[in-house]
Structure formats: structure tokens, C-alpha cells
Amino acid sequence: MVNFGERLRALRQAKGLTQQQLALQLGLSKSIVSSYENGFRYPSYEVLIKMASVFSTTTDSLLGVGHRALLDISGLPERDQQILTALVERLKGLADDYTHNR
């Protein structure tokens, strides 16, 4: 099961952001983003909502609520996981664009 920190890291990397860049977008320090990714801290509701906006997703998705992995990629090398995560995010964006333009 993927935890919040792992999910956050994967989303950040898929979007091509450094911890510092994400921190700036959220109005936080890099060390706080790092502590989220490493499971030492959890964001407030306000920060969680900002994260959802940055990643164009829902807070439920960030928290793994109702999340059911259809494909387990945990055994793949990290770079392959990043590529697949980025591809899925891109496909979600295309699907959203298609839905909004209909």
C-alpha cells in the first residue's frame, strides 16, 4: 500500500518539481515538504487543499481514500515508476481536457 509521503513524492516527481519548487508553491519550507514525503509530518487541511490544486487532483486521491491500485508497479525500478506515474497523470489531463471541451 502506498502511503501519503510516497504518493506526494511520486506526484511531485511526475510534475517535474523539486521539493523546493513545491514548497514555494505551497508557501512552505523545503524541509516541511521533505518531512511530508518521509512520513514524519502530515499537512494541515489548508495545505492538503493547496496540494490538490497544484497536482490537479482531489484531497481524497492524495490521502488514498477510496484509492484502489489497479496496477502494482512497486516492484519496478524507481525511474520506471516515475515514467508510468507521469504517463498516467498526462492521460488524466488529456481525459479532463476532452471532457471539458465536449
Q: Give me the residues of the chain with pLDDT under 70, please.
A: 1-2, 66-71, 96-102
Question: Tell me, what's the pLDDT at 65?
Answer: 79
Which pLDDT belongs to residue 9?
A: 94
pLDDT at 16: 93
Q: What is the pLDDT of residue 70?
A: 59
Report yes or no: 86 and 55 within 8 Å, Cβ to Cβ: no
Residue 1: per-residue pLDDT: 42
Segments making up each domain of the chain, as ranges: 4-100
In CATH, what class is 4-100?
mainly alpha
Closest CA to 93 of 20, 6, 11: 11
pLDDT of residue 31: 97
Query: What sign does the dihedral 41-10-53-30 (CA atoms) show?
Result: positive
- Give residue 50's pLDDT: 96
| Rg value, the chain, Cα | 14
pTM beyond 0.75: the answer is no
What is the pLDDT at residue 35? Answer: 97
